[in-house]
Amino acid sequence: MNNESAEAGIAAVHTFIETFNAQDHERHAQSLNYPHIRLANGKFTRLESAEEFAEQSRKAEPFLKKEGWHHTVVASLEVLHAGKDKVHLSLRNDRCREDGAVYHSFDTLWIATLVDGHWGIQFRSSFLHAM
């Protein structure tokens, strides 16, 4: 396993979560590499650009607030494989209310990639079912 890549992949996860929690849509979009692929609720979604992702992120914010979301915590993180330009990561994410109470936990597989000198999340497959 490539430890340097593993550390970079873990850092990409933390950047993703930090910018998601801040709901800083433009910075959040920069935490990814493109095209970005997501598999959730039985559907693949492919986003081609940071602008497209930021717009989708902005549209999702009211739904997060409606469900009582305040922040997400990475409850567990394991590097499964790490090569020179790609890292597979297994995560368990907890969605939390403002008081820190977890209201939804889900497992997810992410792939972080190195593209043009930038480590970002390029693929996410989540067991995040509609609530």
Could you read off the pLDDT of 8-28 as tens digits, one per residue? 999 999 999 999 999 999 999
**In this model, does residue 131 exceed pLDDT 60?**
no
According to the model, what pLDDT value does residue 79 have? Answer: 99
d(CA 22, CA 6): 25
According to the model, what pLDDT value does residue 41 have? Answer: 85
Question: Cα dihedral sign for 66, 42, 9, 91?
Answer: positive
Identify whether the C-beta of residue 112 lies closer than 8 Å to the C-beta of residue 13. yes
Q: Does domain 3-126 have CATH number 3.40.190.170?
A: no
pTM: 0.94
What does the domain layout of the chain look like in residue ranges? 3-126
Look up residue 55 and give its two tokens: 């717009």
According to the model, what pLDDT value does residue 128 have? Answer: 73
Reply yes or no: is the peptide bond before residue 35 cis, omega within 30 of 0: yes
Query: Rg (Cα) of the chain, in Å, rounded?
Result: 14
Mean pLDDT along residues 124-131: 76
d(CA 62, CA 68): 10
d(CA 52, CA 3): 32
Count the helix, strand and coil residues of the chain and give each as a percent rounded to the nearest 5: 35, 45, 20
